């Protein structure tokens, strides 16, 4: 997917389902830390994947928390496969994200974090009565 940046620049984002595990693992680690913090019930259990993905999206939209920025930047690194900027790709040199115009960073952050749902499969059982399979513990 091509994303328009300022001054006619662009970034090409890969299909989130094709992101390599070496880029997904750090995102999962950061999301897990964020989920443990968000859970807040003191039992040390992380929130489930869907809750954490939603928390990341909410926080990116509403609050510049360092944990969220970490997830956003790791996701940008994972999905930007090409761009017209005269900078190395974030995969090759993550520090280039500090050189982006704020508006470009915000666009990439929003588009990348929107891809989290497709990047990570949700494995929770579907208890919907209209599900084509019966619950395995029935």
Mean pLDDT by 10 residues, the chain (138 residues): 96 94 85 60 54 62 56 92 96 92 95 88 66 57
Note the pLDDT of residue 42.
44
CA distances from 70 to 15, 56, 65, 74, 137 (A): 21, 10, 9, 6, 39
Q: With b meaning 16 or more CB within 10 Å and e meaning fewer, what string describes 2-18?
A: ebebeeeeebebbebee
Note the pLDDT of residue 108.
96
In a domain, 129, yes or no: no
The boundaries of the domain holding residue 106 are 2-119
Note the pLDDT of residue 27.
85
In a domain, 126, yes or no: no
DSSP designation for 6: G
Structurally, the chain folds into a number of domains equal to: 1
The pTM of the full predicted model, rounded to 2 decimals, is: 0.67
């Amino acid at each position: 997917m091509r994303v328009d940046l300022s001054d006619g620049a662009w970034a090409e984002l890969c299909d989130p389902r094709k992101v390599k595990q070496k880029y997904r693992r750090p995102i999962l680690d950061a999301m897990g830390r964020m989920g443990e913090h968000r859970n807040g019930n003191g039992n040390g259990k992380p929130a489930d994947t869907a809750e954490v993905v939603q928390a990341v999206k909410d926080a990116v939209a509403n609050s510049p928390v360092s944990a969220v920025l970490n997830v956003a930047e790791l996701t940008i690194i994972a999905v930007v496969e090409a761009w017209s900027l005269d900078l190395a790709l974030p995969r090759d040199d993550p520090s280039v994200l500090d050189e982006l115009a704020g508006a470009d960073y915000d666009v990439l952050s929003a588009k990348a974090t929107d891809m989290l749902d497709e990047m990570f499969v949700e494995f929770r059982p579907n208890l919907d009565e209209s599900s084509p399979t019966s619950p395995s513990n029935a």
